[in-house]
Amino acid sequence: MAAAEPKGHGQHSGMWIYPDAKVISQDVSEKSKDMAKPFRTALVVTGILFILAIVGFIARAADDGFDEIGPWGYYTALFSMLFMVTSGAPLAACAFRFTKSHWRRPLSRVAELFSIVSILNLLMFIPMMIVLPSLENPAGSVEGQMELRRSIWFEGPIGAPHAWNLAGVAFLTITSIAILWTSAIADMGEARHSATGLKGWLYRKLAGGWYGTKRQWNVQKAGLALLGAFYFMIVVFMHFTISSDYAQSLIPGWKDSIFPVLYTVTAFQASLGAILVTLFILRRWGGYEGYIGKSTFWSASKVLLGLTLLWVYHLFAFFITFWYGRLEVEQNIIKYLIVDTYSVIFLLNLAFSFVLPFAVLVWNPVRRSDWGPSLAGLLALIGGLMFNIRIFVGSANAAPGENIYHFLLHKVPAPVYPDIWDLFIVVGGLGAAVFIYLVSTRILPILSIWEVKEGTFYQKWGKLHRGEYQILGKPE
């Protein structure tokens, strides 16, 4: 038994749990070794999907090559979806650690493990780099076309945007893995003598010098704070470049300063959604109900509600400015991405990113449950996928060939529907991401053991007057 009976009264009944610090390490490492049948089944299913994704990719490359970005629209959308989740999730761990929120403790490692999936992102980005059209018009100076298409890189530097984007994605992946390593070093250090085989070798290599001295703890915490701050800046910058280079700059005349912000908000919302869904699975079927209390869902749900409202606010700010302005190009962009060409996808996007999560999260009793926030998280994930399909498929196919060098979008293009290879790529790619995540949970414990243990010192259940309440210790 890792935890006592959940505490709380009235509407907060069973909200808080207090794990037993003495048995956490052993219990969690045993759970990490366990290869139960449902886990094995999930591994096989997602493994098959991974293979489908590879088949889809090869078929797409064989059919269309890498000359045009249009056929790679769904691939780009999938990349962006995974990029949003894998870049946003480690940031959630850093941000809640920075704000010293105790409820984040069971969430941290779940979020940081997404950084291993970001390796898939890095690999996926290589073909994307090839298909992105050049900034310079190959035809040179032509009447009615720009010599240099609009881009956030303006007239330089050399290699922009391709090489710089690749370097950015690589840098992001490396930093997120560095955060995971810094966070997990204490857990690996503790388990290095008991772990055997590949895991034991890995732990000894990665945490050989860890003895848990005061100095090491201080360095680890300072390192996490610094890496977190650094990572935040890279995430925001890379969201800006990816959303500009692979979306905005591909639609002639689309000048929308809020779009990178909307992209970032969608990313944060989708990544928190992914974290909540993972936490729910772990709590319900993973045997972690003694570590992941409802209080984690309750607190995270408020953040998700805030992000959901921010999402619709930013979308509205974009829409109203374009709609009210009545400029031809802006009207065409609204028709293309919102009210005409991709209107169905837009409605699904609006429903899953705002209407449905909001309708779920606005109720206090639902937010206090474990299923409510997780359901909202799942909806936000679907909404994120719709967002990416709408934007990235739309952008990749807005101005084929030399049209990309035109000043403005003069007519509204037709929609592009997925073919069988696109379906293989999207569904298989999502499966591949889950497969990698599942494998990573066998390498590192899915709970940040040291953080959960630390939490047991700072969270108590105590008496005040005639009632009993949660006591939260606030260091500093």
Partner 1 sequence: MQEGKPLQSKQINRELLLTILNSPKWFFTTVSVLGIIVMVAMGAAGYMINQGFGVTGLNRPVMWGFFITNFVFWIGISHAGVMLSAILRLSKAEWRRPATRAAEILTVFSLMTAMTMPLIHTGRPWRTVYWIYTLPFVPYDYARGIWPNVRTPLVWDPSAVYTYLTSSILFVVVALIPDFAVLRDRTTGMSHRIYGLLAMGWQGNARQWKLQIIAGVLLSALILPVFVSVHSIVSWDFGMAVSVKSWHSTVFAPYFVVGAVHSGVSAVAFVLILLRYVYGWQNYIRHEHIDALARLLVVVATGWFYFLVMEILFGFYGREADEIAVRDYQFMVSPWNIWMMIFVGVTYFLPVAIWLSRSARRNLWIMSLACISVNIGMWLERFLIIVPGLARKQLLTFDWYTYTPSAVEWIIVGGTFAMVTMLMLVIARVVPLIPLYDIKEGEILRTEIKIGRVTVPAVFRED
Residue appearing with tokens 């997120």: 176
Phi, psi angle pair for 405, to nearest 5°: -95, 5
* Closest approach of partner 1 to the CB of residue 435, in Å: 35
- Site residues for partner 1, 259-298, by CB under 8 A, read 259-261, 298
> Are 408 and 254 within 8 A, CB to CB?
no
For partner 1, which residue of 140, 213, 464, 466 counts as binding (CB under 8 A)? 464
Provide Rg for the chain, Cα atoms.
24
Q: Does residue 318 touch partner 1 according to CB under 8 A?
A: yes
Q: Using CB under 8 A, which of 194, 196, 321, 403 touches partner 1? A: 321
Q: In whole angstroms, give the CA distance from residue 234 to residue 169.
A: 9
- CA pair distance 244, 148, nearest whole angstrom: 15
**Of residues 106 and 455, the one with the C-beta less far from partner 1:** 455
Rule CB under 8 A: is residue 322 a binding residue for partner 1?
A: yes
CA distance 258 to 265: 11
List C-alpha distances in Å: 5 to 1, 150, 294, 449: 10, 60, 13, 20
Nearest approach in angstroms of CB 169 to partner 1 is: 20
State which residue, 298 or 435, has the beta carbon closest to partner 1. 298
Q: Per CB under 8 A, which region of 185-193, 219-227, 389-397, 461-469 contacts partner 1?
A: 461-469
User: Rounded CA gap, 242 and 81, in Å?
Assistant: 12
Is residue 126 part of the contact set for partner 1 (CB under 8 A)?
no
Minimum distance from residue 19 beta carbon to partner 1 (Å): 16
Which residues in 267-310 belong to E strands, given as ranges?
A: none
Containing 18, the helix (H) or strand (E) segment is none
Binding to partner 1 by residue 399, rule CB under 8 A? no
Return left, alpha or beta for 197; rule: phi > 0 is left, psi -120 to 50 is alpha, else beta: left
Candidates 65, 157, 325, 401; binder of partner 1 (CB under 8 A) is: 325
Smallest distance, Å, CB 194 to partner 1? 26
Q: Which of 59, 166, 174, 258 binds partner 1 (CB under 8 A)?
A: 258
Answer yes or no whether residue 400 interacts with partner 1 by CB under 8 A: no
Binding mask 139-168 for partner 1 (x = CB under 8 A): -----------xxx-x--------------
Nearer Cβ to partner 1 (303/416)? 303
> How many residues contact partner 1, by CB under 8 A?
42
Q: Which residues contact 105 (CB under 8 A, 6 or more apart)?
A: 448, 451, 452, 454, 455
| Closest separation in Å from C-beta 414 to partner 1 | 26
- DSSP states of 140-174 as a string? -S-TTB-SB---TTTT-STTTTHHHHHHHHHHHHH
Residue 16 DSSP one-character state? B
By the rule CB under 8 A, 457 interacts with partner 1: yes
Minimum CB distance to partner 1 smaller for 38 or for 473: 473
Pick from 37, 197, 462, 466 the residue near partner 1 by CB under 8 A.
Answer: 462
Stretch that binds partner 1, among 49-57, 200-208, 317-325, 415-423 (CB under 8 A): 317-325
Which residues have CB under 8 Å from 342's CB, separation 6+?
Answer: 336, 390, 393, 394, 415
Q: How far is the CB of 137 from partner 1 (least distance, A)?
A: 14
- The residue range among 156-164, 184-192, 276-284, 456-464 that interacts with partner 1, by the rule CB under 8 A, is 456-464
Whether residue 247 contacts residue 392, with contact meaning beta carbons closer than 8 Å, is answered with: yes
* 280: its two tokens: 């729910």
Question: In Å, how far are 73, 299, 358, 382 from 361, measured between CA atoms?
Answer: 32, 12, 5, 16
Give the nearest distance from C-beta 135 to partner 1 in angstroms: 12
Contact 235, 260 (CB under 8 A): no
Q: Between 2 and 21, how does the x/- string for binding to partner 1 read (CB under 8 A)?
A: ---------xx--x------
Using CB under 8 A, pick the residue from 37, 324, 417, 420 that binds partner 1.
324
d(CA 375, CA 362) in angstroms, rounded, equals: 13
> In this chain, which stretch among 30-38, 54-62, 418-426, 463-471 interacts with partner 1, using CB under 8 A?
463-471
In the block, tokens 């209107």 appear at: 343
Consecutive H or E run containing 374 = helix 371-388
Site residues for partner 1, 181-240, by CB under 8 A, read 236, 240
Using CB under 8 A, list all residues that contact partner 1.
Answer: 11-12, 15, 150-152, 154, 236, 240, 255-261, 298, 302, 313-314, 317-318, 320-322, 324-327, 457-458, 460, 462, 464, 469-476
